[in-house]
Structure 1
């Protein structure tokens, strides 16, 4: 896949494959093409070459809402919850059952995953802490029962204890068989969570491998990630 902003090409021959039940990461410094990749995947921009296939469909050029209805759930960078809706209203607004083969996510189930949200169910989004807003962003995406859950910097800006709670949630989702694509910078924690990893550098895939391979090559972290 290739993508560009006007005459400025950003992605060059990107080949990304994600199997059902896998957890995959996109790694790289800021400005290396991770956000553009997600924008193409979610339907916010169309690739200039190549195809995007999701659930057996060629979704290249589809609108974002059409791709979402097919089963893509996004936890966006910056959370972007509705500040003037309550926790319960944020969840209800996104409720849909797109994966009938699995036990569906319901309000009750997401409250079991995030008990703090149940305690704050009547609170408006702008009355929540940053960590609670991130929990709500994940819970809201799950209420759509996505076939693919995409998380863009879901642990960014969170206190260490809250961040670890988010990681525990993702561990639970992985164990339940949820297919997940993660963009994040905490390599050590991602190695424990994900099956495979891809590193982007200036819009090109420069390294791919599994967690054991990434753990064994810490020089990659400094070279491409600055860790």
Structure 2
């Protein structure tokens, strides 16, 4: 087990958002966190990353309890986040964005390097001297994923992986995620395209109003379309 979230509760001031969220991810798995907008998915991710303090439950990563750690401490343990909105550095070039925080946090024998990221996203190599604010939304998402991979994390988290992307670019991101699965990267994905996620992921956790309402395998979710129509569909 690489990540174990047990009954976490998180609030913004007096407004509680998470009410006992639990989930777990095994090493090498692709897992998803599903639910409509405003149901607590991003707050769950922010709680895992140490960006929001929990006031109940526990979070363990690689056997170590991490709730209570700061975001930089969590990141150094080997969790990389591709945040909603990408948040790349607009005043750095593509290549500078990629190398700024390069590390080998999982001690990989074949770590992610500039060359590997450029092979995964050839468009980034073409735009390597462009500033971050000169990229399209799709290129920025590729850059955000590449930047996270350059830390060589144990766990990669993508919040709204394909949100707002053109169909062709979205397909490139799905192909990237399929490749990451093939090479054994552990991934947690938040996205709304359940049909694609069923084909990609091993396990799914569905939340509604800060509570887990369903969890299970892709096979189980495929057999229960009422679940994702009720809790994920618009």
TM-score (norm 1): 0.98
- After superposition, residues 23-172 of structure 1 pair within 5 angstroms as 23-172=30-179
Residue 2 of structure 1: SS of its match in structure 2? Answer: strand
What are the superposed Cα offsets for residues 177-215 of structure 1, whole Å, 9 maximum, x if unpaired? 000001110101101110000100111100001111111
Q: Which runs of 5+ in 1 are unaligned?
A: none
Match of 1:173 among 177, 180, 201: 180
Q: Using the TM superposition, give the Cα deviation of residue 46 of structure 1 relative to its aligned residue in structure 2, in angstroms.
A: 1.3
Aligned-pair RMSD on alpha carbons? 0.9
Match of 1:195 in 2: 202
Q: Using the TM superposition, give the Cα deviation of residue 55 of structure 1 relative to its aligned residue in structure 2, in angstroms.
A: 1.7
Q: Using the TM superposition, give the Cα deviation of residue 221 of structure 1 relative to its aligned residue in structure 2, in angstroms.
A: 1.9
Distance 1:206 1:49 in 2: 19
Q: Using the TM superposition, give the Cα deviation of residue 101 of structure 1 relative to its aligned residue in structure 2, in angstroms.
A: 3.6
**Count of equivalent residues:** 227
Q: Normalized per residue, which structure has more strand?
A: 2
TM-score (norm 2): 0.95
Match of 1:218 in 2: 225
The ranges of structure 1 where at least 4 consecutive aligned residues each deviate by more than 4 angstroms after the TM superposition are none
Q: Using the TM superposition, give the Cα deviation of residue 7 of structure 1 relative to its aligned residue in structure 2, in angstroms.
A: 2.1
Distance 1:98 1:32 in 2: 32
Distance 1:220 1:133 in 2: 33
Query: Are the aligned partners of 1:45 and 1:61 in contact in 2 as well (CA < 8 Å)?
Result: no
